[in-house]
Amino acid sequence: MKTEKWVVDAWEAASTKVKSTSLRVGSGFPHGSHDGQYQLTAPHYWTAGFWPGLLWLIHQEEQNDGLRQLAEHCEERLDPVLHNIDLQSHDIGFMWTLTSIANWKLTHNPAARHRALTAASHLAGRFNLKGRFIRAWDQPERTGWAIIDCMMNLPLLYWASEQTGDPRFKHIAVAHATTAVQHFIRADGSANHVVCFDPETGERLSVRGGQGYADESAWARGASWGLYGSVLSYRHTGIPDFLAAAERAADFFISHLPEDKVPYWDFRLPSFEHAPRDSSAAAITATGLLDLANAAQGDKAVFYKESALSILQSLGEHYRADASEEAILLRGTGNLPGNQNINRPLIYGDYYYVEALSKLMGHSSFWAPAPAASKE
């Protein structure tokens, strides 16, 4: 099936930008972009996987050995984090899915497989049996905290069970996803960012707004994590509740979009005047909707596919940076309550935008289950 011209053009523009940016960034770890340049972070920061993930996406389509070598070097630079429990968090899945699992899927490098299995073991070790959730941060006062973002870490655990034949990793992922669709994704499809549980009993205690406007508001990127994470859990397990949660989140997100299909940073702000957009939430949702379109049936599948394409076309037409900027997408919002990266390009927005284009070019994502015939 021929790829539409706008997809090819968008891919070529993104690929050109990544290759140009790689000349300066190399095997660094970009996060937000300031004054036209990505700012680099430490290897243990949660976004460390997105730049190598971008490199692997381009290599997957174009077989670019220079980008492959940079991605491999990024992965090697994460080894001190992999072997230091004090530098780790719940975001292990973000980091090693887009480095080691990507490497393993594309090159079958046994060292990459070993790293990913080690990371999966660390992530499984954060599971709270009583509350059936994967703990978020490590501060003592947050022992019982979990966050919606962690839905995107679960593919690391599903992959580990696929690879080893040991269902323990999958059991933990299913338990956390079940908790998430019960306590994080609300009936209307919006999402809580933080849910606090009693770490001893597992009882739900409270919710917190986190990076959203307020405890009961609707942080846009939270809805996108819930959507994409839920459909990925459905793809790995076939559990209907996960598909229903993904559809609920998708319907909420789509129905609350402004005219240009890119959300404000929170859907329940008291006023949208002067409110920043979040292109990263749009990109995450678009790539998640492409998976959801393949999982849904009938008119729903068509609706989700058309919605994904509308978002991607708007991002390409109205939010794509010119040659003066290293990043691909403009106008992301990282953490507005924390006053971090407001109305700036974000590496994860760039990654998910290119991932969506890669799917339209005929590739599977690194988060997806392996085709049955090619499982190792």
Burial class (CB in 10 A: 0-12, 13-18, 19+), 78: buried
Please confirm, yes or no, whether 188 is among the known catalytic residues: no
Task: Write the single-letter amino acid at 213.
Answer: Y
Catalytic residue among 91, 266, 291, 350: 91
**Alpha carbons 96 and 53: distance in angstroms, whole number:** 9
For the chain, where are the E strands, in sequence order?
30-34, 37-40, 127-128, 133-134, 145-147, 194-197, 204-208, 332-335, 340-344
Strand bridging mode 127-128 / 204-208: unpaired
Catalytic residue among 79, 149, 166, 278: 149
Burial class (CB in 10 A: 0-12, 13-18, 19+), 13: middle
For the chain, what is the largest distance between any 2 Cα atoms, rounded to a whole number of angstroms? 55
| DSSP symbol at 296 | S
**Alpha carbons 102 and 248: distance in angstroms, whole number:** 29
Please confirm, yes or no, whether 266 is among the known catalytic residues: no
Strand bridging mode 204-208 / 133-134: unpaired
**Alpha carbons 91 and 20: distance in angstroms, whole number:** 28
**Alpha carbons 26 and 34: distance in angstroms, whole number:** 18
Looking at the chain, how many residues does it have?
Answer: 376
Active centre residues (catalytic): 91, 149
